[in-house]
Amino acid sequence: MRTPILLVASLVVATVAHDARAADDAPPPSPPTAAPGVHGDLFPGAGRPTVAGATGLPFLGIAEVGFGVTNGFTVGAVGGITPSVVTAGLRPRFRVPTSERTALVLVVPMLYYPKASAPGPGNIGETSWVLARPELFFDVSTSERWEVGVGMGFVAAGSTYALGQFFEGRKFAMPPYNGSTDSDHGFAGGVWNTACTRASYALDGQTHLFAEGSLVMKGIALANDVGGPPIVVTLGAQHSF
């Protein structure tokens, strides 16, 4: 009787030992593959550089070179051209997840326009100016490849001439415009609210197509004092490395 029992026990021990050795020798499981475009075109991921090019209105062309500082913070250097002026600046953006598929996304383009050779937005004429357009989006991953967002923000623009007068403690004066030296003519600055939307489609894990649009408004009405159509539209492509 003891012999069959010993035999069964030996088989059990041998089987357990074999399974343990097999488990030790098996390669580790592969990490799950991240869904393509999980954070859209704005966030390439920590430590990853990114480039983008686009066209639209008012920009005939605009390009960006950026870097993912963290998975939720990217900063980019941008340069662009309109029919009348060139511009350069920074575009930091921040992402705060609110659920597995939703997040709050803050995008803050900050641009400098050197002295224009023709009237630009606001009919500022021959003066340089600065502009910031922070916009907060509620962003949703509708699928593995699509990210869409809607939000609101504001545009703040100011003449460097008028800002210099202000910070030097002088009387706030507008720059000359159309040959007039009257301080009541020109563009010293302004603030407008925006309603905005954006979408991003992942061609693969590193390349995206994107579209952005903003309506520039005064309250609930479209603005009529921005020197051009009260709309910003951008269509482009982005690639991360």
- Going by pLDDT thresholds of 50, 70 and 90, the confidence category of residue 159 is confident
Is the confidence at residue 124, as pLDDT, over 50?
A: no
Instruction: Provide, for the chain, the percentages of residues in helix, strand and coil under a 3-state DSSP scheme, each rounded to the nearest 5.
Output: 15, 45, 40
Q: Which structural domains are found in the chain, ordered by start?
A: 49-240 (2.40.160)
Sign of the C-alpha dihedral computed for residues 129, 229, 58 and 210 taken in this order: positive
In this structure, what DSSP letter does residue 64 have? E
With contact defined as beta carbons under 8 Å apart, do 155 and 134 qualify? no
Query: Residue type at 184?
Result: D
Express each pLDDT in 63-108 by its tens digit. 999 999 999 999 999 999 988 889 999 999 999 999 999 999 999 9
The 10 Å CB-count burial string (b at 16+, else e) for 136-169 is bbebbbeeebebbbebebebebbbbbbbebbeee
pLDDT band at 206 (very low <50, low <70, confident <90, very high): very high
